[in-house]
Amino acid sequence: MNSYRPRTSIARAAMDKIRNDQYLEQYDSKQWYQLTNSLPQNFQSKFVAFVEPDEITLSWLDKAKSLSSNLWLQLWHTLAKTFLNMFMSQTDVNGMLKRGSMFILSEIQFQKLLTAGGFDLSKFLTPQNPNVIDILDIGAGDGEITANILSSVISLSVKQGVSHIQPRVFTTESSFTMRSRLKDMKFNVVEEIKQVSMVPLIACLNVLDRCIDPHQILQDMFNALAPNGRILIALVLPYSHYCEFNTSHMPLRPLMEHWPEKARQFSFEAETVVFFEMLERMGFKVESWTKAPYLCEGDLHQSFYWLVDLVVVLSKQ
């Protein structure tokens, strides 16, 4: 049986998926959250440990496995992608086909990370706006993770005794199909970060390594953040840059200076320190952080995919 090789491409894909999914079943998912080495104490003391996937994460994984096992849906996606990729970006295609959703942390995990990072909703309510809390998500994609963050903030308001808040969610997104999905979810879509100001919570999840000028985005976030506000950043490590929406696929300037000459020469922990020190030089302060999987729905070949994310909560110094 091990030497058998199916003749048709569909049968080969099915066999590959069986083998790949067997590997996923045996993989120790606790590794997604574990550090190999400690960081300097000023950073290590801010680490929030998540030991293993929680129930919400496991539920997301079960849903991804179910979608991946739908043979006809995956065949349709494969055929549609082949045609649409001739004149649309991969992100636009995913938005049109409603596929490839991402997941980082559950609502409960986001809550714990924000709480450890000192995010206090009571500091942003004023007599003029006694209930309104603004949230900005940069590069929000299909809005699924945005919705997770929104749920986290609403639940957190109850725990902090700040009842009846009215969150206003603003988003930015380059993909026209994803912008349409964000509007369907009743999120406000703005063209530039500069269109909002004094924002209590800004999210920028897995964008800094996919944008043309990450340093400008960091500066724009710094300027848009309210006093006592928090910025939530996720970044895949090892750091590697790719711009989908320009012809060279290169940034104007990389996020970290060692790329691309010394790409993949740092451990997760060492590159985390490089990133944190760069953020401090820009005027940010690390309030809390964690390590987590950056999960993506699978396809005909595998139930789900993942990269390793650094997720950090920042304030202004």
Instruction: Indicate whether 176 belongs to any domain.
Output: yes
Query: Per-residue pLDDT for 179 more than 90?
Result: yes
pLDDT more than 90, % of the chain: 70
Query: Per-residue pLDDT for 14 more than 70?
Result: no
Count of Cβ atoms closer than 10 Å to residue 206 Cβ: 19
pLDDT band at 308 (very low <50, low <70, confident <90, very high): very high
Mean pLDDT to the nearest integer, 165-178: 94
pLDDT for 1: 46
Phi, psi of 134 (to 5 degrees): -90, 140
pLDDT for 8: 61
- Structural domain that includes position 153: 9-316
What CATH number is associated with residue 150? 3.40.50.150
Q: Which residues contact 304 (CB under 8 A, 6 or more apart)?
A: 24, 61, 64, 65, 68, 295, 296, 297, 298
Instruction: Indicate whether 63 belongs to any domain.
Output: yes
Mean pLDDT to the nearest integer, 219-246: 96
Closest CA to 116 of 287, 290, 310: 287
Helix then strand then coil, % of the chain, to nearest 5: 40, 20, 40
pLDDT digits (tens, 9 = 90+) for 16-52: 777 878 888 889 999 999 999 999 999 999 999 999 9
Instruction: Give the integer Cα–Cα distance in Å for 58 and 93.
Output: 27
DSSP-assigned letters across all residues of 89-140: -HHHHHHHHT---EE-S-HHHHHHHHHHTT--GGGG--SSSSSEEEEEEET-
Instruction: Indicate whether 3 belongs to any domain.
Output: no
**pTM summary value:** 0.91
Mean pLDDT of the chain: 91
How many independent structural domains does the chain possess?
A: 1
Mean pLDDT to the nearest integer, 105-129: 92
pLDDT band at 69 (very low <50, low <70, confident <90, very high): confident
pLDDT for 281: 98
pLDDT digits (tens, 9 = 90+) for 213-227: 999 999 999 999 999
Mean pLDDT to the nearest integer, 112-125: 94
Instruction: Indicate whether 99 belongs to any domain.
Output: yes
Instruction: Indicate whether 296 belongs to any domain.
Output: yes
pLDDT for 118: 97
Closest CA to 171 of 180, 159, 162: 180
pLDDT band at 83 (very low <50, low <70, confident <90, very high): confident
Mean pLDDT to the nearest integer, 45-61: 97
Instruction: Indicate whether 1 belongs to any domain.
Output: no
User: Does residue 53 have a cis peptide bond before it, meaning omega lies within 30 degrees of 0?
Assistant: no
pLDDT band at 93 (very low <50, low <70, confident <90, very high): confident
Phi, psi of 36 (to 5 degrees): -85, -35
For residue 36, what are the CA distances in angstroms to 112, 264, 265, 269? Answer: 22, 16, 15, 8
pLDDT digits (tens, 9 = 90+) for 266-297: 999 999 999 999 999 999 999 999 999 999 99
* Stretch among 85-89, 103-107, 121-125, 313-317 having the lowest mean pLDDT: 85-89
Instruction: Indicate whether 2 belongs to any domain.
Output: no
Instruction: Give the integer Cα–Cα distance in Å for 136 and 193.
Output: 8
Phi, psi of 47 (to 5 degrees): -75, 135
